[in-house]
Copies of this chain bind each other. A is one copy, B any other.
């Protein structure tokens, strides 16, 4: 009898391995690793610090290498492959499904992957090179080539007997594909239909009105289609409608997860492949770029303040309040930016409703401006007993909230037109705009009205 899945039991197995590793009891570790499925071994490796990964890897059964490598994230996988002997890598690669093979090769340095390709057998090299030729982030890159195809005229009984002879089907097969005499795709037949149809039904009559995916479609769009139509798998065709492979939902799930993570990580200035347990120096390096960009923009904001040095030295209270308006603009702008980036990813925001959305976000900026102007003016007038100072900060807040709405809505649209990923650089550009506008508006108005 199967046991109810105990997430805790996997966890405690992993903890026990951790303990044995601490005690340097490699014999015990090896024994315990044999109880685990490849995906659990992958989880163990991902949750271990990099030093321990190198201890664990040689203790894993070599026949599991390909299954474990398939489940690892790019950074962790490449770290391990770097320590393996070339012939062991080739062995592991040759056992992979085409999509995983292609993905693994594509993340390795060009020279390494070329060397590996040269040592692979003819058939594996060909399927790898074909997949690589479609280019990353396309349907061809993530598809598998293990389709079962049928001719239109044969009947259900013949097919069932053929499948019984064959003995097994590729993982995640829910549909068989019918092709004509020129190998062009006619459509798909669900295997549930094969089971429920009368034995003498010709397969032709069971074809559902299936749609196919062109081999060069972008993978994000493939994921949107799977989500929208609730597919489990979909056929991939070339420009002549020849069936070249199929994409299954498990790969699509990875794309959805990665795309969503990509936005979240990019917006915080991180590489989305960043490995939580990488060594300190490597992690520090990876975060440097973003901090450098931020230092530059912070210096820009300081340079704007610098233009008002005379005002600041006369009225220290301005120095104290100088961060409030930029900070509110940054938050409001980032709200709009995030919403528009998500809307574009889901396909809701298009060129057609962009103008409407822009005017909506402008109106929100205006409303926000009124609300927070009144509030901050009251707070400052009470705190600093200075009504005029309250009016100055209120005016600056109004200006900056409108600028935030405008920048937050238009930046991702402009960046997309320029083919720049808005999640990656949108936030930093936006913050620079709201900082500069906010400081200018506040210190400029103060110089004009308060001196």
A residues with CB within 8 A of B: 1-5, 7, 11, 15, 18, 37, 39-40, 43, 46-49, 71, 160, 163-164, 166-169, 171-174, 184-187, 191-192, 194-198, 209-214, 217, 221, 225-230, 232, 237, 241, 249-250, 252-254, 256-257, 260-261, 263-265, 267-270, 274, 276-277, 280-281, 283-284, 287-288, 290-291, 294-295, 297-299, 301-302, 305-306, 309-310, 312-313, 316-324, 326-328, 331-332, 334-335, 337-340, 342-343, 346-350, 352-353, 356-357, 360, 363-364, 367-368, 371-372, 375-376, 379, 435
Contact = CB atoms under 8 A, between A and B. Distances in A.
Given A267-B267, A319-B319, 16 more contacts: A2-B185, A46-B346, A47-B349, A160-B195, A191-B192, A252-B253, A256-B257, A256-B260, A260-B261, A264-B267, A265-B339, A295-B372, A295-B375, A299-B324, A312-B316, A323-B435
A276 B18 CA distance: 46
B334 A268 contact: yes
Contacts of A249: 232, 249, 253
A221 B320 contact: no
Given A230-B172, A270-B339, A299-B324, A348 B47 contact: yes
B195 A364 contact: no
Given A327-B294, A348-B46, A163 B7 contact: no
B160 A173 contact: no
Copies of the chain in the assembly: 2
Contact of A268 (B167, B253, B338): B338
B338 A270 contact: yes
Given A195-B191, A368-B287, A276 B49 contact: no
Contacts of A173: 192
A270 B232 contact: no
Contacts of A288: 371
A338 B192 CA distance: 44
Contact of A260 (B47, B264, B318): B264
Nearest to A160: B195
Contacts of A254: 227
Contacts of A326: 323
Name the residue in A46, A309, A312, A327 with the highest tally of chain B Cβ atoms < 10 Å from its Cβ. A327
A71 B339 CA distance: 20
A301 B321 CA distance: 9
A77 B346 CA distance: 17
Given A1-B186, A167-B196, A270-B339, A322 B324 contact: no
Contacts of A297: 327
Contacts of A346: 46
Contact of A323 (B225, B302, B309, B318): B302
